[in-house]
Amino acid sequence: MRSVRRRPGRAAGPWIGVLAVLTALATACTTAAPEPTLLGAGKKIRVAAKGDQPGTGFEPHDGEFEGFDITVTQEVLGRLGIDAASIRFDGVLSKNRAKSLREGDFDLVVATYSITLQRTLPVEEGGEGLDFVGPYASTPQGVLVRAADKDRYRGLSDLDGRQVCVWKGTTSLTELSKPAYQLIRLREEKDAGYCVKALKAGEVDAVSTDQLILYGFMEAEPTLAVVPGIAFGVINDYGIAMHRTPAHRKECERLREALKKYVSGNDWDRDLANDLPRVPVAARNEAKPTTAEIDALSCRERPANAKVD
């Protein structure tokens, strides 16, 4: 940079001061403010959860949430020094999970949200542009029926001609809409609670979604039962979702390492048994992820082995 040359008889000091001010103003105008962090110190973490799924995400009283999704969130964030009082849960519909992240309504979604290629691909490639940390649990699809009717069903073919309730934005709706299941009559509802009410009222013959979710309903509703012999579809891997930005990648990686620590001990087993006590031991063991699976699916645009919608 060239030095400022003094003119004869004129002091340079005031002009140096003016130049310093102009330089500071120019820097302030051209430097973008850093993007706020998701997990900043003293920040209230806004988490979207399901409010109508006993055992996984349930809101028994206004503003009070419980279930395995809630426990996982608190345990993982707790390992990053974030206490439960700094986490705010609010309900979200399945179909609105990605939208709520993109529009900044929430920092994280922990709502039995499956890691799929469609959800992780960049928006410019037709995806939803999300990062996931997970899986924190894995489960196949299953079927919930009235307990008195349970022995009528041995396999999916027993549902041919019968009405099965599913809800929008879920893997079950996608799976059962395939040609292989065209004889099953689908009823689409807004969310899980509507389907369960329809089943109890005798308006539908069954409800289908992830088995872990169904075991939660079975615990809450003694008149309902999961059909043990029906498990189908690809395995759903639940993840903690966030909107992908360069500024958030480090935080995604921090969450990944915290989740790996959580599943490496006995805390995960204790929490799943407490929140979902009706899940059989064999299914519980299959639901638990390994640290290698977490590495393969977390914080990636194209996760290894991610389910294709």
pLDDT, tens digit (0-9, with 9 covering 90-100), for 105-145: 999 999 999 999 999 999 999 999 999 999 999 999 999 99
Residue 295 has pLDDT above 70, yes or no: yes
Q: Report whether 50 contacts 111 (CB < 8 A).
A: yes
Q: Name the residue range of residue 119's domain.
A: 45-139+237-297
For residues 218 and 87, state if they share a domain: no
Both 128 and 147 in one domain: the answer is no
SS (H, E, C) 123-177: HHHCCCCEEEEEEEEEEEEEEEEEHHHHHHCCCHHHHCCCEEEEECCCHHHHHHC
For the chain, how many structural domains are there in total? 2
Same domain, 181 and 212: yes
Instruction: Mark which of 234, 257, 275 sits at the end of a domain.
Output: 234
| 193: in domain | yes
Pairing of strands 57-61, 64-66: antiparallel
- Both 205 and 273 in one domain: the answer is no
CATH of the domain at 286: 3.40.190.10
Q: Name the DSSP class of 118.
A: H
Q: Let me know whether 70 and 190 are in one domain.
A: no
CA–CA distance, 224 with 129 (Å, rounded to integer): 37
Q: Is the pLDDT of residue 196 over 90?
A: yes
- Domain annotation covers residue 55: yes
pLDDT of residue 61: 86
Pairing of strands 206-210, 163-167: parallel
> Which one is predicted more confidently, 13 or 186?
186
Statement to judge: residues 113 and 168 lie in one domain: no
pLDDT single digits (tens) 140-194: 999 999 999 999 999 999 999 999 999 887 888 889 999 999 999 999 998 888 9
Domain boundary among 234, 250, 275: 234
Q: What is the pLDDT of residue 308?
A: 67
* Residue 64 phi, psi (nearest 5): -110, 120
Residues 222 and 272 in one domain: no
pTM, to two decimals: 0.84
Q: According to the model, what pLDDT value does residue 41 have?
A: 63
Query: Which tops the pLDDT comparison, 36 or 230?
Result: 230
In contact, 56 and 65? CB cutoff 8 Å: no
Give the 3-state secondary structure of residue 183: coil
> What contacts 204, CB < 8 A, 6 or more positions away?
163, 164, 165, 187, 195, 198
- Looking at residue 34, its pLDDT comes to 52
Asked if residue 161 is part of any domain, the answer here is yes
Dig out the tokens for 208 from the structure: 């289908």
CB 72 within 8 A of CB 260: no
Does residue 40 or residue 80 have the better pLDDT?
80
Asked whether residue 144 falls in the same domain as residue 115, the answer is no
Query: Where is mean pLDDT largest: 244-253, 281-290, 300-309?
Result: 281-290
Domain-embedded: residue 287:
yes
Q: Express each pLDDT in 16-71 by its tens digit.
A: 444 444 444 444 444 444 555 677 667 899 999 999 999 999 999 888 999 999 99
Tell me: cis bond preceding 8? Omega within 30 of 0 counts. Answer: no
